[in-house]
Amino acid sequence: MVSDASLRSLSPSRIVWLIFALTLSLSCRHQPPIDTVPVTPPAPPALVMAAVDGSRSFGAFVPGAVLRWESVLKQIPPGSTVYLRWLTSDSYPATNAIAVATLPLPPPNSSSNPFARRGRAVLAQAQQHRAAAETALIEALAQTPTPRSQRTDLDGFLVVCAERFAAKPNVPHLVVVFSDLDANVSRYSKMLSSTALAGATVLVVSYQPASPNARAVRLAQFRRLGATMVYLLGPDEPLPSNLLPSVESLPTTATRKPA
């Protein structure tokens, strides 16, 4: 305690500094400790299977798909492996492949201090590597000739997804399809089990339902294959803000079975 006599003996400037010190001390007491401030962990790397409808009926929408593909890539976590393919009359063979890339991981925290000169350089280089990987996937789609197939085989592509997901079960799985979903090939439908897309997120962009009940039919189809989240977006609908689940919600090896 400071007595009245002590306060009277202080100069005005000392009193001002004393009040400032007391105010600062009280404000610091109400700040949470550094180690208790919640930190959002980075999203885990994902396995992404993407396909663009290469049929004649969807040809006019491919340029728009290139633009939407760029937006989708921005949401895919670092370290993710991305496969890009065509939907054709037979979407299963490897000849439908357009490109594959792994998005680079960010630099370790110890070397990426944004306030240090070296840290800024490391972060800038990481951003350049990420941009280069995204650009390669975008240009691959933009520059590869559209197959212009007569029919659309969605099931063949989903069989490929099931095989890749079964081989790498304990990561988030994302299926991205740019198509009106006017699929008319069923040769692979019997190869798709109820766990083919177990735990996966499905994003369909440029979806154009052929009838009022078509959307419900497609939603039910993806959910029968085990998909957890399904987005059927029209050409003018915005992308969801969070495409992939958190680490805690990922399926374990025991809960996922090969298709």
pLDDT digits over 153-208, tens only? 999 999 999 999 999 999 999 999 999 998 889 999 999 999 999 999 999 999 98
**Banded model confidence at residue 255, pLDDT cuts 50, 70, 90:** very low
Task: Report CA torsion sign: 138, 139, 143, 147.
Answer: negative
pLDDT score recorded for residue 8: 59
Cα dihedral 204, 208, 211, 215, rounded to 10, equals 20
Mean pLDDT for 108-137 is 75
Mean pLDDT for 49-58 is 95
Length of the chain: 259
Percent of the chain at pLDDT > 70 equals 73
Q: At what angle do helices 62-74 and 117-143 cross, to 10 degrees?
A: 160
As a whole number of angstroms, the distance between CA 171 and CA 157 comes to 20
Instruction: Name 225's Cβ contacts closer than 8 Å, sequence gap at least 6.
Output: 158, 162, 192, 193, 194, 195, 196, 197, 198
**Banded model confidence at residue 102, pLDDT cuts 50, 70, 90:** very high
As a whole number of angstroms, the distance between CA 141 and CA 85 comes to 9
Instruction: Name 227's Cβ contacts closer than 8 Å, sequence gap at least 6.
Output: 175, 197, 199, 200, 201, 202
**Banded model confidence at residue 80, pLDDT cuts 50, 70, 90:** very high
Q: Give yes or no for residue 113 having a pLDDT over 70.
A: no
Q: Give yes or no for residue 90 having a pLDDT over 50.
A: yes
User: Which tokens go with 98?
Assistant: 């357009």
Q: Give yes or no for residue 28 having a pLDDT over 90.
A: no
Cα dihedral 57, 58, 61, 63, rounded to 10, equals -120
**Banded model confidence at residue 26, pLDDT cuts 50, 70, 90:** low
- 78 closest CA partner among 49, 48, 52: 48
Q: Give yes or no for residue 81 having a pLDDT over 60.
A: yes
Q: Are 13 and 138 in contact (CB under 8 A)?
A: no
Q: Is 71 exposed, middle or buried (0-12, 13-18, 19+ CB in 10 A)?
A: exposed
CATH of 47-106+138-255, one of 3.40.50.410, 3.10.20.30, 3.40.630.10, 3.40.50.300: 3.40.50.410
Which residue did the predictor score with more confidence, 186 or 245? 186
Question: Within 10 A of 111 (CB to CB), how many other CB atoms are there?
Answer: 13
Q: Give yes or no for residue 98 having a pLDDT over 50.
A: yes
Domain ranges of the chain: 47-106+138-255
Supply the mean pLDDT for the chain: 82
Predicted model pTM: 0.77
